Chains A and B, each alone.
Chain A
């Protein structure tokens, strides 16, 4: 793709730390809005929702790195870890907002909901899938585990994204454009992987089986 080379060169010049700083800005704005009282009548819900949505979008961005490289030749792989860790950071904050702002530490209520409410169960599952990824998001872990095992483990990102999409779809009262678009984009990102795996013969098609 024309322009890809220039983009790649530019991406190489962006220090890794810059992504973390820029990525933290939405959280800073939310916190500022919370203290300034500018988030409307239900600030708790706004904070909770925006943190969740931002986390999901960072996860989608991390999952877009490989397709961008393979399809368009744009290589942002240098920044994928930052995107993944930012996704985790926002999902942790999303969970904290649920615990503190939404449920005011009513642990019994929350536990019942985790077990009984499919969208919360699925959301928790997505969070759980991200934990080992965050813990191993460093060079030491890759060396210790070996690249192949590390890559296998990090396929949990697909599960996390799928859980995130489902969590979103299950919680809306009517299918909102936002929920449908996010879920659609995630399905596309995952479908690409399935397509590549089939082509490599890693997944046997029905005829092959």
Chain B
């Protein structure tokens, strides 16, 4: 159980054979739906399950792929689905630089070669006080960083999203200071819950969800999980991040999900689960989005009200 406490999961009560069958059925059905939806043949991915998955019922593929904050395509949550099909994700490469032993521009295929994929069903909590449950497919960020060789002195990882206004209509306007930037402290980046995702629901990542490679940090607000990554830099100093640059009073570098620290303009004590019943969707928000057992230790001794 990977030291995860004794929360029961479907896998604990369902015979594994049936479970795999069910999963295959769902994967096949949703895959077909995704392909139809995007007008593209979505490629199925090979992956294994993970003990880090939650037992919560995942949101539908349709919810996950039509309700996105991806301002590169526009500020409306329907814009990414509307426009992201224009994004070219092949060829794709990621620049890994800074304090690493083997810096360089790595084609995506090289990054994925020999990297076993896992399904991680994570809760996803947006800073706007809504949440979903998403079955990501990906691999630990730590695996890639270890391969690149983190040099002593590196204390943070800075990430950047692609800038390509021809394909990303939102970038033709100064909505944010492009490129979108995010960052993690090295211990957060190396944490086993932190993954680079290449897909969801067993299929390659839909463009609107951050194809072909995005970060997923389940205990932080969604905007930390940067999409369509083209650059990772190992650095010594805390890097600037997009929403903190935009409004430092409202968005901090850490941005851990924390029901006790409100966003200045709205409460973070509760959240609405997308896809739940209209009259009971609002539920209490959990400390570190329910991952306190795994990650609270990273912040021991810090005042999370000040370093929010």
Contacts and interface: CB of A to CB of B under 8 A. Distances in A.
Interface residues of B, number: 28
Interface of B: 59, 62-63, 66-67, 71, 75, 77-78, 128, 130, 175-176, 246, 262, 265-267, 269-270, 272, 274-275, 278-282
Contacts of A106: 270, 282
Nearest to B78: A40
Interface in A114-170: 116-119, 170
A41 B265 contact: no
A51 to B, nearest CB: 14
Contact of A117 (B59, B267, B272, B278): B267
Contacts of A118: 265
Nearest to B175: A174
B279 A41 contact: no
A33 interface: no
Contact of A171 (B77, B265, B270): B265
A103 interface: yes
Contacts, number: 57
B78 A170 contact: no
Contacts of A174: 71, 75, 175-176, 246
Contacts of A170: 265
Main secondary structure, interface of B, reads loop
Given A41-B67, A174-B176, A112 B267 contact: yes
Interface residues of A, number: 25
A5 interface: no
Contacts of A117: 265-267
Given A103-B282, A113-B266, A170-B265, A41 B63 contact: yes
A50 interface: no
Contact of B281 (A40, A44, A112, A171): A44
A42 B67 contact: yes
A41 B266 contact: no
A199 B63 CA distance: 56
Given A44-B281, A104-B279, A174-B75, 13 more contacts: A34-B278, A41-B62, A41-B63, A42-B77, A42-B272, A44-B272, A102-B272, A104-B281, A106-B282, A113-B266, A116-B267, A118-B265, A174-B246
Contacts of A24: none
Nearest to B250: A173
Given A41-B274, A109-B270, A170-B265, A104 B282 contact: yes
